[in-house]
């Protein structure tokens, strides 16, 4: 290619660059003339075949061609981008894009509602670490040293330092009693871990909320009144509540608390296994041995404690049949039961 042909090609490239309307068009011009297989690199390969006198002029013009075209393409591309940012070409008659609003996960919603109910009764929220010691998770709660719940098939142990992933939020109660004297009135929502096989009603990772009230002359009737009020606030005025004798190492006497089935209203259905009742919470009066562990005067103070699974409350409140549905991240399901 001689000098005259190169200048003609340069003029054609400038015309094409000026005519380009989009960034894609500009890039096409760049590839055509300056790309690895473009026109200008081909010209540079032919320089060695030219006469020395002509080679210098063609090489100089080729470099000018490259600089001029690069500058033109950059300036035009920058101008087009600035114009787009300024709103040029924007069609204001187009409808807006609708972004769906998210919902609060049902587990989070029930935690918020449960905490709010107990706050109205004077309880405060207390929290603690997920990794606990054997002492606070078991020993201080009057659990026998060789209790089956301490086996590796039930508890997630960490190393050999008596550390574990807490199996309940009760260790937070121990921490609270170790740090201050009565009166104490707390609830402890949090995540717990047990080596359970995941099925429709069990999970290795779940949430609990527990409560503790310690003061002078606290009685079992106080506990019953609090849980009865909680049941009606959470499930509605039509719900009934009953208490059954039970056993827990850290309470004496101990009870199981049942709510009347919200589906059949107590007449019996598959949700309540035709009993008319759904087990919700374990509770009882704090065993004096627990008070001795934290240095409380057992002659002066009494107290009650209760605990319930958040997922169980969610399943009862929203009629969820399988706990796994709460963690499958199906947006259709979460939109129905979330808020």
Quick check: 193 and 158 in contact, CB under 8 A? no
What crossing angle do the helices spanning 23-34 and 39-46 adopt, rounded to 10°? 10
pLDDT given at position 181: 94
Flag whether pLDDT at 103 surpasses 70: yes
Would residue 165 be called left, alpha or beta, if left means φ above 0 and alpha means ψ between -120 and 50 degrees?
A: beta
227/271 Cα distance (integer angstroms): 22
Predicted confidence (pLDDT) per residue in 272-295, tens digit: 778 888 889 999 999 999 999 999
pTM beyond 0.85: the answer is no
218 pairs with which residues across the strands? none
* Mode of pairing for the β-strands spanning 124-125 and 184-193: parallel
Q: What is the mean pLDDT of residues 61-85?
A: 76
Q: 54-68, 109-123, 261-275: which range is least confident on average? A: 261-275
Could you tell me the pLDDT band of residue 88, with boundaries at 50, 70 and 90?
low
Three-point CA angle 64, 68, 74, nearest 5°: 150
pLDDT given at position 166: 95
Flag whether pLDDT at 27 surpasses 90: no
Q: What percent of the chain shows pLDDT beyond 70?
A: 95
pLDDT averaged over every residue in the chain: 87
Q: What is the mean pLDDT of residues 153-159?
A: 89
CA-to-CA separations, 313 to 90, 112, 217, in angstroms, rounded: 51, 12, 30
What number of CA atoms fall less than 13 Å from residue 261's CA on the CB side?
Answer: 16
Return the structure tokens found at 152: 């590796």
Return the structure tokens found at 229: 């009020």
Instruction: Enumerate residues 6+ apart whose C-beta is below 8 A from 257.
Output: 227, 241, 242, 243, 279, 280, 281, 282, 283, 306, 308
Return the structure tokens found at 332: 């259709």
Quick check: 183 and 257 in contact, CB under 8 A? no
Instruction: Enumerate residues 6+ apart whose C-beta is below 8 A from 154.
Output: 148, 167, 194, 195
Q: 70-74, 112-116, 136-140: which range is least confident on average? A: 70-74
Instruction: Pinpoint the alpha helices (H) of 150-308.
Output: 170-179, 220-235, 288-294
Q: What is the mean pLDDT of residues 90-106?
A: 80
DSSP 148: G
pLDDT given at position 167: 94
Q: What is the mean pLDDT of residues 227-238?
A: 91
Flag whether pLDDT at 119 surpasses 70: yes
Flag whether pLDDT at 234 surpasses 70: yes
Q: Which residue has the higher pLDDT, 86 or 315?
A: 315
Quick check: 281 and 256 in contact, CB under 8 A? yes
Q: What is the mean pLDDT of residues 132-155?
A: 90
pLDDT given at position 81: 63
Predicted confidence (pLDDT) per residue in 211-223, tens digit: 999 999 999 999 9
Q: Which residue has the higher pLDDT, 171 or 202?
A: 171
CATH number for the segment(s) 106-337: 3.30.930.10
Sorted by where each begins, the domain ranges of the chain are 3-85, 106-337
Determine the 3-state secondary structure of 193 from DSSP.
strand
Q: What is the mean pLDDT of residues 294-313?
A: 94
pLDDT given at position 305: 97
Could you tell me the pLDDT band of residue 86, with boundaries at 50, 70 and 90?
very low
């Amino acid at each position: 290619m001689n000098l005259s042909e190169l200048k003609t090609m340069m003029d054609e490239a400038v015309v094409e660059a000026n005519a380009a309307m989009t960034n894609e068009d500009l890039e096409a011009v760049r590839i055509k003339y300056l790309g690895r297989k473009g026109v200008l690199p081909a010209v540079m390969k032919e320089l060695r075949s030219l006469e020395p006198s002509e080679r210098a002029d063609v090489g100089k013009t080729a470099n000018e061609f490259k600089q001029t075209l690069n500058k033109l393409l950059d300036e035009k591309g920058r101008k087009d981008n600035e114009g787009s940012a300024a709103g040029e070409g924007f069609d204001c008659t187009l409808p807006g894009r609708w972004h769906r609003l998210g919902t609060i996960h049902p587990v989070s919603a029930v935690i918020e509602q449960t905490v709010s109910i107990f706050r109205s009764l004077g309880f405060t929220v207390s929290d603690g670490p997920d990794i606990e010691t054997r002492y606070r998770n078991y020993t201080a709660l009057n659990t026998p040293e060789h209790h089956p719940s301490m086996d590796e098939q039930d508890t997630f142990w960490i190393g050999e330092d008596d550390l574990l992933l807490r199996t309940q939020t009760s260790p937070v109660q121990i921490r609270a009693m170790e740090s201050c004297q009565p009166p104490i009135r707390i609830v402890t929502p949090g995540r717990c871990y047990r080596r359970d096989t995941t099925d429709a009603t069990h999970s290795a990772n779940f949430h609990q909320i527990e409560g503790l009230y310690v003061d002078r002359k606290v009685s079992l009737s106080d506990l019953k009144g609090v849980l009865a009020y909680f049941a009606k606030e959470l499930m509605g005025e039509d719900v009934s509540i009953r208490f059954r004798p039970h056993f827990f190492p850290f309470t004496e006497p101990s009870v199981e608390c049942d709510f009347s089935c919200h589906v059949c209203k107590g007449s019996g259905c598959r949700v309540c296994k035709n009993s008319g009742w759904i087990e919700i919470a374990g509770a009882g009066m704090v065993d004096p041995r627990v008070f001795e562990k934290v240095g409380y005067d057992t002659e002066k103070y009494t107290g009650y404690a209760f605990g319930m699974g958040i997922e169980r409350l969610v399943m009862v409140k929203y009629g969820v049949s399988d706990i796994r549905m709460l963690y499958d991240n199906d947006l259709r399901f979460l939109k129905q039961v979330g808020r």
